[in-house]
């Protein structure tokens, strides 16, 4: 991405999505990064994972790709990601990574990585309805599915 100036009106938009063929199964993640008229697409995959892990990894990879601290709007169709980072994470951390019921938090490794990456930036979290024609979300979904195909050797 282009170097960002430190002005209040410049924001990087990250449109993120995860995909999984079987759950667990072969998974992929995708990120569309947009800064003004500049776009960058990222995708990847894992051979054995879950959809929630791919949703988290998409956001982590998008934030990691930013070379310096930025104002960021993360657009996700995952309530798990949006509610997790906005509502559940502070409580998990306070309770030593235990859920309200006392069990271990699932995907703790990725939640910790997401918390680290998000702390480097000024982040707004936005939930968007998936598969509803939102252009950024549809592109992130296509990138996530590219990630799945890359794990399957190009097969659909």
State yes or no: pLDDT of 156 exceeds 80. no
- pLDDT at position 10 is 80
Structural domains for the chain: 12-151 (3.30.420.10)
Select which of 13, 46, 55, 146 is catalytic. 55
Select which of 13, 141, 146, 147 is catalytic. 141
User: Which band of pLDDT confidence, cut at 50, 70 and 90, is reported for residue 6?
Assistant: very low
Q: What is the pLDDT of residues 76-114, one digit of tens each?
A: 999 999 999 999 999 999 999 999 999 999 999 999 999
Q: What is the mean pLDDT of the chain?
A: 92
Select which of 13, 18, 27, 147 is catalytic. 18
State yes or no: pLDDT of 4 exceeds 90. no
131 is catalytic: yes
Select which of 36, 122, 126, 131 is catalytic. 131
77 is catalytic: yes
55 is catalytic: yes
- pLDDT at position 131 is 85
- pLDDT at position 154 is 72
pTM of the model: 0.92
Q: What is the pLDDT of residues 22-79, one digit of tens each?
A: 999 999 999 999 999 999 999 999 999 999 999 999 999 999 999 999 999 999 999 9
9 is catalytic: no
Select which of 13, 44, 75, 77 is catalytic. 77
| DSSP annotation string for the chain | -PPPP--TT--EEEEEEEEEEETTEEEEEEEEEEETTEEEEEEEEEEEE-HHHHHHHHHHHHHHT-SS--EEEEEES-HHHHHIIIIIHHHHHHTTSB-TTSPBPTTHHHHHHHHHHHHTSEEEEEE--TTSS-HHHHHHHHHHHHHHHHHTTT--
17 is catalytic: yes
């Amino acid at each position: 991405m282009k170097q960002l100036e430190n002005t209040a009106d410049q924001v990087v938009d990250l449109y993120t999505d995860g995909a999984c063929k079987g759950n667990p199964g072969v998974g992929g993640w995708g990120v569309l990064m947009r800064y003004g008229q500049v776009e960058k697409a990222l995708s990847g995959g894992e051979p054995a994972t879950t959809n929630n892990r791919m949703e988290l990894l998409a956001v982590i990879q998008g934030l990691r790709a930013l070379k310096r601290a930025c104002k960021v709007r993360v657009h996700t169709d995952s309530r798990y990601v949006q509610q997790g980072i906005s509502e559940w994470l502070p409580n998990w951390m306070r309770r030593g990574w235990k859920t309200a019921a006392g069990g271990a938090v699932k995907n703790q490794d990725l939640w910790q990585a997401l918390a680290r990456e998000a702390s480097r930036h000024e982040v707004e979290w936005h939930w968007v309805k998936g598969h509803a024609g939102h252009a950024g979300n549809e592109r992130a979904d296509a990138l996530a599915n590219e990630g799945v195909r890359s794990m399957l050797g190009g097969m659909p």
